[in-house]
Amino acid sequence: MIAAPVVTVYAVLNAVAVHFRVPEREILLHRRDQHVAWPRHVTVGLASRLTTYSLPRIGRALGGRDHTTILHSRRRFDQRIACDPAAAREVDTIQDAILSTADGDGEKAELAFVMTEIEQRTAELAQLDSVIALAERRLASLHNSFEMLSAARAVGRARFDVIVNEFTAGQGAARRELDQSLDRLMRLTGGGHV
């Protein structure tokens, strides 16, 4: 039994780029340049026609686009080939080229796509990890700043109590409280000047 040819989004992207003489990276960019709009619509239309991939999966393969963007692009593709016979013939030519070079080994093509998605997700996770680490450092710094502010306020209150209780029996307790508040503030600042 001969396996049916399996087409990937990348095979469609490559064929469209070659046909229109547009670099693949330009089709993947999120710019709306007119010279890549139709090739991008053709890529989406043929990918949804020739592959078994869902719209979100096609969107991920084409530069991380949202599935609604892919749906809109497919609709534009369908509208144009329905009313423009020259565009329909052009799409048929590209489709024939894709199918003539499609790999009959579906598992190999699927594995290649899955490996690419894993690499993309790994890169995204690494980027997310670095953002989380930065946020944690900033949060720790902010937390430390709040602790220092609280300790500085405690020093101010203790200093006020020392002044108020200067000639009373509570002067000793107020001075001890001031010393403890100063010690806490010095520990938080690493012994530096406040």
Out of 75, 104, 133, a domain closes at 104
Is pLDDT of 2 > 70?
no
DSSP state of 6: B
Is pLDDT of 107 > 70?
no
Q: Please provide the average confidence, as pLDDT, over all residues in the chain.
A: 84
Residue 99 structural domain:
9-104
What total number of domains does the chain contain?
A: 2
Same domain, 97 and 161: no
Query: Does residue 78 form part of some domain?
Result: yes
Is pLDDT of 128 > 90?
no
Query: How would you label 8-35 residue by residue, b for 16+ Cβ within 10 Å and e otherwise?
Result: bbbbbbbbbbebbebebeebbeeeeeee
Under a CB-based contact definition with an 8 Å cutoff, are residues 7 and 102 in contact?
A: yes
Out of 104, 122, 154, a domain closes at 104
Same domain, 25 and 62: yes
The per-residue pLDDT for 169 is 81
Q: What is the pLDDT of residues 52-82, one digit of tens each?
A: 888 998 988 888 888 899 999 999 999 999 9
Task: Calculate the CA 88 to chain-centre distance.
Answer: 35
Task: Categorize the per-residue pLDDT at 109 as very low, low, confident or very high, splitting at 50, 70 and 90.
Answer: low
Same domain, 99 and 15: yes
First-to-last alpha carbon distance for the chain, in angstroms, is 81
Same domain, 112 and 82: no
Query: Does residue 119 form part of some domain?
Result: yes
Same domain, 81 and 94: yes
Query: Does residue 2 form part of some domain?
Result: no
Same domain, 98 and 112: no
The per-residue pLDDT for 63 is 82
Same domain, 182 and 152: yes
Query: Does residue 77 form part of some domain?
Result: yes
Q: What is the pLDDT of residues 142-186, one digit of tens each?
A: 888 888 888 889 888 888 888 888 778 878 888 888 889 888 888
Q: How buried is 181 (Cβ within 10 angstroms: 0-12 exposed, 13-18 middle, 19+ buried)?
A: buried
Task: Categorize the per-residue pLDDT at 192 as very low, low, confident or very high, splitting at 50, 70 and 90.
Answer: low
What is the domain-level CATH number for residue 86? 1.10.1750.10
List of residues 6+ apart from 76 with CB closer than 8 A: 41
Out of 104, 130, 164, a domain closes at 104
Query: Does residue 1 form part of some domain?
Result: no
Is pLDDT of 1 > 50?
no
Task: Calculate the CA 128 to chain-centre distance.
Answer: 8
Same domain, 19 and 99: yes
Query: Does residue 145 form part of some domain?
Result: yes
